[in-house]
Amino acid sequence: MFLIVTRSFPPDIGGMQMLMGGLSESLVNHGPVKVSTYESENQNIYENKSSLDIERVKGIKLFRKYRKANLINKFISENPNIRALITDHWKSLELIKTENIRKLKTFCLLHSKEINHSIGSSLNLRSIKSTNKADFIIANSNFTKNLAINVGIDSKKIHIIFPGIQKPHKISNILKIQAEKIFGDAFPKIITIARLDKRKGHDKILMLIKNLKIKYPKIKYVSIGLEKKKKIYQIFLKNYS
């Protein structure tokens, strides 16, 4: 059995949700998978189609992380057949007891935003202490690995695995027609898939597109993502696209 502990999981939408959902579904080919995560809107629709054993923890954010950790610790102590524990974040590993972690192989995923804290700060010390529990620390890029080393995380445990994607689906003719309407004879075509959030850097891409239009008058940029601060990005689109 594989035990997945994550804060982000389908049917919620986002990069981490897709990563943890895809990882969990892929591991089913190698044995049973239990997922411990938080409740989500429309979770029953997703779970009815899934072969995963998903435990959703409810409650106020401040308390549910402790309730979730208690449930995980109890589950590990009662199930000796767990092959590996995989966590999406050092915070998901933080409250799991060390004596329980020692019973199995532990993997902790690492992302730059979650470890980018001042050296010596409370969050920095907590992240180091938590990741030290893991047998393997999985960075999603060379940048993340180097950042982790710089902030004090054990370099000997860090391995780089770039995020994967699901096998591409066959594109229907209707979608091909829709894409042709969007892009026409545009060249080059640039697409980003991310929330419309300032830290994602859409504003810099839009300013870059404005400069590139001098050389590539038919360039087209399409941004796909959840709306956030919509009015700000409408202004950017008007001025730079």
Q: What is the pLDDT of residues 217-229, one digit of tens each?
A: 998 888 877 655 4
Same domain, 133 and 75: yes
Pick the closest to residue 235 from 201, 192, 206 (CA basis). Answer: 206
Task: Please check the confidence at residue 108 and state whether its pLDDT lies above 70.
Answer: yes
pLDDT at res. 226: 62
Same domain, 114 and 217: no
Same domain, 148 and 180: no
Residues 146/158, Cβ–Cβ less than 8 Å: no
Q: Of the residues 160, 193, 216, which one is the last residue of a structural domain?
A: 160
Task: Please check the confidence at residue 232 and state whether its pLDDT lies above 70.
Answer: no
For residue 38, CA distances in Å to 51, 63, 64, 138, 195 come to 18, 12, 8, 22, 21
pLDDT at res. 235: 45
Q: Is residue 167 part of a domain?
A: no
Amino acid at 36: S
Same domain, 21 and 107: yes
Q: Is residue 166 part of a domain?
A: no
Same domain, 67 and 131: yes
Same domain, 47 and 114: yes
| Cα–Cα distance for residue pair 98/163, rounded to 1 Å | 28
pLDDT tens digits, 72-100: 999 999 999 999 999 999 999 999 999 99
Same domain, 143 and 185: no
What CATH number is associated with residue 70? Answer: 3.40.50.2000
Same domain, 137 and 196: no
Q: Is residue 168 part of a domain?
A: no
Same domain, 42 and 140: yes
Domain range enclosing 38: 2-160
pLDDT at res. 144: 94
Same domain, 119 and 236: no
Q: Is residue 212 part of a domain?
A: yes
Tokens of 23: 């990882």
Q: Is residue 202 part of a domain?
A: yes
Domain count, the chain: 2
Q: Phi and psi of 48, rounded to 5°?
A: -65, -25
To the nearest whole percent, how much of the chain has pLDDT over 90?
51
Kindly write down the DSSP assignment for every residue of 161-214, as one continuous string: -----PPPPPPPHHHHHHHHHHHTT-SSEEEEES-S-GGGTHHHHHHHHHHHTT
Same domain, 51 and 87: yes
Q: Sorting pLDDT into bands at 50, 70 and 90, what band is 238?
A: very low
| Cα–Cα distance for residue pair 181/83, rounded to 1 Å | 49
Same domain, 63 and 132: yes
Q: Which residue has the higher pLDDT, 158 or 232?
A: 158
